[in-house]
A and B are shown apart, each in its own frame.
Chain A
Amino acid sequence: MTAETLKRAPAVHSRGNRKQARRNTLIGWTFILPNFLGFLAFTLIPVLAAFALSFMEWTSFSAPRWVGLANFQRMVQSDTFWVALRNTVLYALGHVPLTMALALVLALLLNRKLKGIGFFRVAIFFPYITSLVAVAVVWNMLFSPDSGPINQFLHAVGIANAPGWTSSSDWAMPAVIITSVWRDMGYYMILYLAGLQAIPTELYEAAEVDGASPWQRFWNVTLPSLRPTTFFVVVMLTVSSFKVFDLIVVMTNGGPGRATTVLSQLIYQEGIGEGKFGYSSAISLVLFVIVLTVTVLQFKLQQRRER
């Protein structure tokens, strides 16, 4: 009899478990479902569709048709694609290091207990949540070539032929970069502040006991301890740089000429503007692969440094 119960017990137990598991699955899904339905339909399926679409010929006038790599062939032969890719890379090369450096400097300045320090933090963060159109419009006027405040300032400090900024094809991109750095640095400053406040005080105390100068403390304690934050900031900044879109649309709309046309804008123009769904998805795939590669590369680098 005891043998029987022993044999039966696990069976009962596991049947109970299975019932419990089924109940849990049901409950879990009811929680997730309201969000998941929307997520599935409007994010997950479009993401997968974008992959498939890039291998199809599909415009607003024709039915979808499988064409293999034809879209990509057309893309690499398109001059505009290369211009947009180059501009996007240029933007990233300006935006990433400048924003990172300024955010770090600001965070170091603001990481102390002073009366009213919160006000300074909040003021520097505010541009990040200010409406983009307002930001773009104001900076466009500040950059105005003849009588804009920025060029007046440059004249005042003795620069005779100040740049034409958004009206010049050489200076439009720097103008956009300056605006975006101003807008974004407060956000990354917050991330750096969080990183700085997670550094154990003991490290600084030990360094001080060893007679390290403030500069040495910064170089040998602060920077290495911030490495995870820096890694995260670089990934976020790079990804957001390659996605740059609305600021450019509102500030320069890609101009003058094609001087500030970026990949996202090209996707919009080709796909939604002209209804070339397949071709624009091929460009999307390039954008995605770039973002993915950058992220994976930085992960690899970070892992190697940690070892």
Chain B
Amino acid sequence: MTNMAEDLKAPDLEDGVPSRGGAISPEDRRRSQRKMSTREQKKRTTDVVIYGVLVVLVVALMVPFIWMLSSSLKENNQVLTVPIQWIPSEFVWSNYTDIWTRIPMMGYLQNSLYLAVIITCLQVLTGSLAAYGFSKVRFPGRDVLFLAYIGTIAVPWQAYMVPQYIMMQQLGLTNSFNALILLQAFGAFGVFLMRQYYMTIPDELCEAARIDGLSEYGIWARVILPLSKPALASLALLTFVNTWNDYMGPFIYLTSNRLWTVQLGLRSFVGQFDAEYAMIMTGSVISVIPILLIFLVGQRYFIQGIATSGMKG
């Protein structure tokens, strides 16, 4: 960590992984200070060029979002015009008030939220419990069992969605939230992610707690859980966003309109009123806003979660 203040301002990977290499190191900086001018000047010009490139690049990559936001504030016939209007000639704020009555948007949002919260809580709880069993308790058959978990991560979900569907049909759970909760709350990914993190916590800590007379459940609750807050946050955020954005699960299982999630509601709106371009964009913006808010709060954990699960995979 070369510069703490900068790291706090611009959260990035460097907490999750060793921060050597690539970027400018302290040695580099010292050397360039000694040599002064030419080198420093050269570096400053490169910085400016790189900033320029990055700004152009990011703006180009953000065009779909910019266009979505701008279109959401237009009349329908203003959306696909030649030439493109990047800024609406007249801001139609009423799109954002009308959408709630055009489609049951509030109900969709509530359904999405309900599913995402329940699934996230169950996944985090059962995942961290199981991860403790897999990493801190030694018993015969443990590693074979863990291999079974890992093995199913490699099997594409689409390959077993039909048996899952038959099972849910037999249980009479199709067209209910319970089907989705049961299918998504016990994922192997959560166990895997948490176990990767628990493996980095030294066993000596648990050993010391054991000698102090804590039971295994006590160690999990009082030693491991507090230490694994970043991993818990990563898992919770990733699960929440995945559930919120999931399309196929609700598409397969939820048939009645009152159970639909934001994704299904939006898709059906597009199907029914495909010429209401502006309102469709309004709905899209509304469906993205919760994710944007969560992401802004927890971006550090998202990126760390991905970097950890990625590196060890």
Known: A114-B47, A118-B9, A285-B159. A246 touches B248 (CB 8 A): yes
Q: Does B92 contact A (CB under 8 A)?
A: no
What are 18 residue pairs bridging A and B, where the CB atoms are less than 8 Å apart in the complex? A32-B134, A38-B126, A47-B159, A50-B159, A109-B50, A131-B291, A133-B262, A133-B270, A134-B287, A137-B280, A138-B64, A138-B68, A149-B63, A149-B84, A187-B306, A197-B13, A239-B156, A249-B248
CB distance from B63 to the nearest CB of A (A): 8
Q: Is A77 an interface residue (CB 8 A)?
A: no
The 8 Å CB contact of A191, one of B148, B248, B310, is: B310
Shortest A123–chain B CB gap in Å is 5
Whether B310 pairs with A46 at a CB distance below 8 angstroms is no
Cα-based distance from A197 to B80 in the complex (angstroms)? 44
Task: Contact check, B262 vs A284: say whether CB atoms are below 8 A apart.
Answer: no
- Interface residue A245 (Cβ < 8 Å from any Cβ of B): yes
A235 to chain B: closest residue by CB: B313
Contact B161 A196 (CB under 8 A): no
Task: Report A144 CB to chain B, min CB distance, Å.
Answer: 6
Judged by DSSP, the binding face of B is helix
How many A-B contacts at CB < 8 Å in the complex?
A: 323
Q: Does B299 lie at the interface of the complex (its beta carbon under 8 Å from any beta carbon of A)?
A: yes
> Bound complex: CA of A269 vs CA of B53, how far in Å?
45
Closest to A156 in B: B83
Across the interface, which residues of B come within 8 angstroms of A200, CB to CB? 20-21
Asked if A182 CB lies within 8 Å of chain B CBs, one says yes
Q: Does B87 contact A (CB under 8 A)?
A: no
- Contacting pair A39 B161 (CB below 8 A): no
Question: A61 at interface (Cβ–Cβ under 8 A)?
Answer: no
**Cβ-closest chain B residue relative to A192:** B310
What 8 pairs across the A-B complex have the smallest Cβ distances?
A: A38-B186, A118-B10, A31-B133, A271-B162, A35-B126, A134-B284, A46-B163, A35-B130
For A39, A106, A199, A292, which residue has the most chain B Cβ atoms within 10 angstroms?
A39
Give Cα A139–Cα B125 distance, bound, in whole angstroms: 37
Contact mask for chain B residues 29-64; partner A; CB cutoff 8 A; 1 contact, 0 none: 000000000000000000100110110011001111
CA distance A116 to B238 in the complex (A): 24
Query: Could you tell me the distance between the alpha carbons of A280 and B57 in the complex, rounded to whole angstroms?
Result: 43
Which residues of B234-256 have CB atoms within 8 Å of chain A's CB atoms? 241, 244-245, 247-248, 251-252
CB within 8 Å for A201 and B25 given contacts A21-B140, A42-B186, A132-B245:
yes
B64, B133, B163, B291: the one contacting A139 at CB < 8 Å is B64
- Provide the residues of chain B in CB contact with A182, threshold 8 Å: 61, 64
A8 touches B (CB below 8 Å)? no
A81 CB-CB contact with B under 8 Å: no
Please tell me if the beta carbons of B22 and A31 are within 8 angstroms of each other in the complex: no
Looking at A22-30, A68-76, A168-176, the stretch in contact with chain B turns out to be A22-30
**B194 CB to nearest chain A CB (Å):** 10
What residues on A are CB-neighbors of B190 within 8 Å? Answer: 35
5 extra interface residue pairs, beta carbon distance < 8 Å, beyond A243-B158, A295-B154: A35-B186, A138-B65, A147-B81, A197-B23, A288-B156
